[in-house]
Amino acid sequence: MVKGKQTRVFICTGTGCVLSGSMKVKAAFKSELKKRKISEIDIVQTGCHGFCQQGPIVVIQPEGFFYPRVSVENVPRIVEEHLVGGKVVEDLLYEDSLTNKKIPLYKDINFYKKQNRIVLKNCGLIDPEDIDDYIEHGGYKAFKKVLSEMTPEKVIEEVKASGLRGRGGAGFPTGLKWDFARKAPGDIKYIICNADEGDPGAFMDRSVLEGDPHSILEGMVIAGYAIGASEGYIYVRAEYPLAVKRLGIAVEQAKKKGFLGKNILDSSFNFNVKIKEGAGAFVCGEETALIASIEGRRGMPRIRPPFPAQSGLWGKPTNINNVETLANVAWIIVNGVDKFTSIGTEKSKGTKIFAVTGKVKNGGLVEVPMGTTLREVIFDICGGVKDDKEFKAVQIGGPSGGCLPAKFLDTSIDYESLAKTGAIVGSGGMVVMDKSSCMVDLARYFLAFTQKESCGKCAPCRIGTKRMLEMLQRMTRGESSEEEVVLLEQLAEDVKVSSLCGLGQTASNPVLTMLKYFRKEFEEHVKEGRCRAGVCSELITYVIKDNVCKGCGVCKKHCPVGAIRGEKKQPHEIDVTKCVKCGICMQHCSFDAIYVAK
Partner 1 sequence: MSEQVTVTINGKEVKVSEGTLIIQAAKMAGIDIPHLCYCECLPSTGSCRVCLVEVEGAKGLVASCTRKVKNGMVINTNTEKVREARRFVLELILSNHSGDCMSCDKNGACELQKYAYELGIEKTSFSMKDPGYEIDKSNPFIERNYNLCILCGRCVGICKTQGADIIDFIKRGMITKVATPLDKPLQESGCDFCGSCLAVCPVGALLEVDRRFRGREWEMEETKTVCSYCGCGCDLVFGIVDGQIMRTTGESPGDFLCAKGRFGWDFVENPKRIIKPLIKKDGILTESTYEEAIKFAAERLLDIKKAHGANSIGGFIGAGNTNEVAYLFQKFLRAGIGTNNIDSSARLLGFPALIDLYEALGDGAVVSMEDIEEVDTLLLVNADVTVAYPRVGVAVKRALSSGAKLVVVDAGRTKISEKADIYIQSKAGSDEFILSGLLKELLDGKVYDEEFAKKCGKFEDLKKSLGKLKMEMVEKESGISKDVLKRAAKLYGEGKKTVIVFGAETVSPQTMELIANISLLTGKTRASVLPCLLSSNLRGTVYMGALAEFYPGVRKIDEARNDFEKTWGVKLPKKAGLSIKEMLDGMGSSILGMYIVGADPVTQFPNSSSVAKSLSSLDFLVAQDTFLTETAKLADVVLPGITLAESNGTIVNMEYRTKEVRAVIEPLAETDWKTVTALSKRMNYTMGYSSEKEIAKEIKSLVFVPKKIERDTYSFILVEPKVSGEEPDKKYPYTLIVGETTFGFYDGIRTKNSKLSRLEPNAGDYVIFNSEDATSLKIEDGCEVTVKSRRGKVTTSAKILDFLPKGMFFMPSCHDKRGILASDSIDSKLKSPQHRLIAVSISKGGANK
Query: What are the C-alpha distances in Å from 163 to residues 173, 205, 327, 390, 522?
Result: 7, 21, 15, 37, 41
Minimum distance from residue 398 beta carbon to partner 1 (Å): 17
Nearer to partner 1, 81 or 470 (CB): 470
HSE-CB of 40 using CA atoms within 13 angstroms: 10
Under 8 Å between Cβ of 588 and 555: yes
Minimum distance from residue 187 beta carbon to partner 1 (Å): 16
Nearer to partner 1, 467 or 558 (CB): 467
Minimum distance from residue 452 beta carbon to partner 1 (Å): 5
Sheet (strand 351-358) strand order? 364-369, 351-358, 429-434, 391-396, 402-405
Minimum distance from residue 455 beta carbon to partner 1 (Å): 6
Under 8 Å between Cβ of 259 and 133: no
Query: What are the C-alpha distances in Å from 52 to residues 204, 238, 272, 299, 593?
Result: 11, 22, 33, 32, 34
Nearer to partner 1, 298 or 435 (CB): 298
Minimum distance from residue 142 beta carbon to partner 1 (Å): 36
- Residue 405, classed as helix, strand or coil, is strand
| CA-based torsion, 380, 386, 389, 390: positive or negative | negative
Nearer to partner 1, 357 or 454 (CB): 454
Minimum distance from residue 589 beta carbon to partner 1 (Å): 40
Nearer to partner 1, 357 or 451 (CB): 451
Minimum distance from residue 463 beta carbon to partner 1 (Å): 4
Phi, psi of 293 (to 5 degrees): -65, -40
State the pairing for strand pair 231-237/190-195.
Answer: parallel
Nearer to partner 1, 67 or 446 (CB): 446
Minimum distance from residue 547 beta carbon to partner 1 (Å): 46
- Residue 324, classed as helix, strand or coil, is helix
Nearer to partner 1, 321 or 454 (CB): 454
Nearer to partner 1, 369 or 502 (CB): 502
Q: Which of 229, 231, 225, 260 shows the shortest CA–CA distance to 154?
A: 225
Minimum distance from residue 298 beta carbon to partner 1 (Å): 6
Tell me which residues touch partner 1 (CB under 8 A).
Answer: 281, 283, 298, 300, 302-303, 451-460, 462-467, 470, 487, 491, 494, 497-500
Q: CB neighbours (10 Å) of residue 481?
A: 13
Nearer to partner 1, 413 or 491 (CB): 491
Q: CB neighbours (10 Å) of residue 522?
A: 23
Distance CA 110, CA 99 (A): 11
Q: Which of 11, 51, 62 shows the shortest CA–CA distance to 33?
A: 11
Phi, psi of 277 (to 5 degrees): -90, 130
Q: Which of 283, 125, 290, 302 shows the shortest CA–CA distance to 215?
A: 125
Minimum distance from residue 335 beta carbon to partner 1 (Å): 36
Nearer to partner 1, 161 or 448 (CB): 448
